[in-house]
Structure 1
Amino acid sequence: MTQQTETAPDRIGIAEVIRFILELFAFVSLGIWGFLAWPGPWLNVVLCVATPLFAILLWALFRSPRAVVRLDAFGKALIEILIMGSAALAWLMLGQPIVAVVFGVAAAVSGVISGRKELR
């Protein structure tokens, strides 16, 4: 008779929920930036779609829990800083420095908390 071991399901805490919301906000922010920062009827629509899709692709390939390409902690942090920093910079370029600073600080704190959990 084989013995089955039960594994405890991964619990999703408040830090993970906040982190997910920050990721979604970053992707939406890049889409808003792509639409508002560029003139023209077609370029802004293309960038509104392409910019967040590129960020989502980077996140899925390198940073997500089921990433296709496994990176060390430094590589993961670099990808995260690139995406979250781009979103904060997008808000700054749109003339919203308060949103940029609040988002940047929240993303940095979330990244540090997540990084400490990963390094355990």
Structure 2
Amino acid sequence: MSGAPSGGYRIERRPVTAGEVLRLALELAALAGVGMGVAALLAALAGPVLSALGGILAALAAAVLWGLFRSPRARFPLPWPGRAAVELLVMGAGVAGWAALGLWPVALGLGVLALASGAVGLVREERGDRSPSS
């Protein structure tokens, strides 16, 4: 064996940047906002079990969308307008979820940081710089 991992992926060993850590935190905050926001909205219509299940499924759907179209190892890579659209959709849904919960400072912070980080990340990707950890 050549020491290459099964599946043909090469493991790139390099330091993780602060921007990559920020991107991961923003993505997790967006997924949490999507899940909790949907769960809170469903709470008025359904019982706690269906509300929780809806929140989990919404967050999972957002994560799958991100993984398929936006991540650096996306199954279906898109040109920059498509990547920007997916990012705006997922991050915007996360912001809306936090706002639906009444947590406006969290929603505002996520929105501002996601816009700035997303713009920088898309520019760097188009220039061929290191892809942000998404």
- Over the residues paired in the alignment, what is the CA RMSD in angstroms? 1.4
Gaps of 5+ in 2: 1-11, 128-134
Aligned-residue identity in percent: 36
1:56 lines up with 2:63 in the alignment? yes
What is the rounded CA distance, in whole Å, between the counterparts of 2:23 and 2:48 in structure 1?
34
What is the rounded CA distance, in whole Å, between the counterparts of 1:42 and 1:12 in structure 2?
39
What is the rounded CA distance, in whole Å, between the counterparts of 2:15 and 2:126 in structure 1?
18
Q: CA deviation at 1:68?
A: 0.4
Gaps of 5+ in 1: 1-7
Q: CA deviation at 1:12?
A: 2.4
Q: CA deviation at 1:14?
A: 0.8
Larger relative CO (CA 8 A, sep 6+): 1 or 2? 2
Q: CA deviation at 1:92?
A: 1.3
Q: Which residue of 1 aligns with 2:102?
A: 95
Q: CA deviation at 1:113?
A: 1.1
1:26 lines up with 2:30 in the alignment? yes
**How many equivalent residue pairs?**
113
The one-letter code of the counterpart of 2:31 is: F
Structure 1 range deviating more: 32-41 or 19-28: 32-41
Q: Which residue of 1 aligns with 2:122?
A: 115
Q: Which residue of 2 aligns with 1:17?
A: 21
1:21-56, Cα deviation, whole Å (9 max, x unpaired): 110111112121122222223320211210110001
What is the rounded CA distance, in whole Å, between the counterparts of 2:113 and 2:15 in structure 1?
22
* Secondary structure, counterpart of 2:34 in structure 1: helix
Contact 2:37–2:96 (CA under 8 A) maintained in structure 1: no
What is the rounded CA distance, in whole Å, between the counterparts of 2:15 and 2:74 in structure 1?
19
> Under a length normalisation based on structure 2, what TM-score does the superposition of the two structures give?
0.78
Pairing 1:59-74 to 2, within 5 Å after superposition: 59-74=66-81
Q: Which residue of 1 aligns with 2:41?
A: 37
Q: CA deviation at 1:10?
A: 4.3
What is the rounded CA distance, in whole Å, between the counterparts of 1:62 and 1:20 in structure 2?
16
